[in-house]
Structure 1
Amino acid sequence: MKRRERTRHLIELGGLIVKAGIVELAEDDRAVMLGLLIEAAAKLRGEDREQSLTLWRRRGMRAFHDAPGNAVRMIGSD
């Protein structure tokens, strides 16, 4: 991946963290945010991988189609 493409990709990933409300909820604590991501990665290595992917994909798709900034409200609505 070229440098410019990689930079854009990283910025987009950071935007997802913001859209999900994690920055605000974690009070911008980078260790907490990394811990959340490590926990999600561990779940994806587990037996419930497909179930988790399906649930998270459904929530993510809803958040993309919902009004900007409403991703946090949706958590737990499944």
Structure 2
Amino acid sequence: MQRRERTRHLIELGGLVQKAGLVELAVDDRATLYGALLDLAGRARGDDAGDVLALWKRRGKRAFDAESDAKEAR
């Protein structure tokens, strides 16, 4: 059961990478994607980590809301 939940979680995270457009931006280069994610993690651990995480959360919520609104409008 835990393995299935973990697999589902990892698939969802991969979907977010795809949804954010990172796969196309990096031309599906895994080293580039990994480097970008490492950079994001480094920023999130920096001095202004709380501000950065709050900003990312707001942006993500807005994007999810906009997507939901677009689906409802169809």
Output the TM-score relative to the length of structure 2.
0.85
Q: Equivalent residue of 1:47, what SS?
A: coil
Aligned 1:1-78 pairs, distance under 5 A: 2-67=2-67
Structure with greater Cα Rg? 2
Q: Per chain length, whose mean CA-contact separation is higher, i.e. which structure has more relative contact order (CA < 8 Å, sep 6+)? A: 1
- Give a deviation string over 1:35-61, Cα, whole Å, max 9, x none: 011001111111010110111001111
Aligned-partner residue type, residue 17 of structure 2 = I
Identity %: 60
Cα-Cα RMSD: 1.4
- Give a deviation string over 1:13-71, Cα, whole Å, max 9, x none: 00000110000111101001000110011111110101101110011111111237xxx
User: How far apart, CA to CA, are the structure 2 residues paired with 1:43 and 1:59?
Assistant: 16
User: How far apart, CA to CA, are the structure 2 residues paired with 1:32 and 1:7?
Assistant: 23
Residue 71 (structure 1) aligns with: none
* Count of paired positions: 68
> Which runs of structure 1 show a deviation greater than 6 angstroms over 4 or more consecutive aligned residues?
none
Structure 2, unaligned stretches of length 5 or more?
69-74
Higher helix share: 2
User: How far apart, CA to CA, are the structure 2 residues paired with 1:22 and 1:55?
Assistant: 19
Output the TM-score relative to the length of structure 1.
0.81
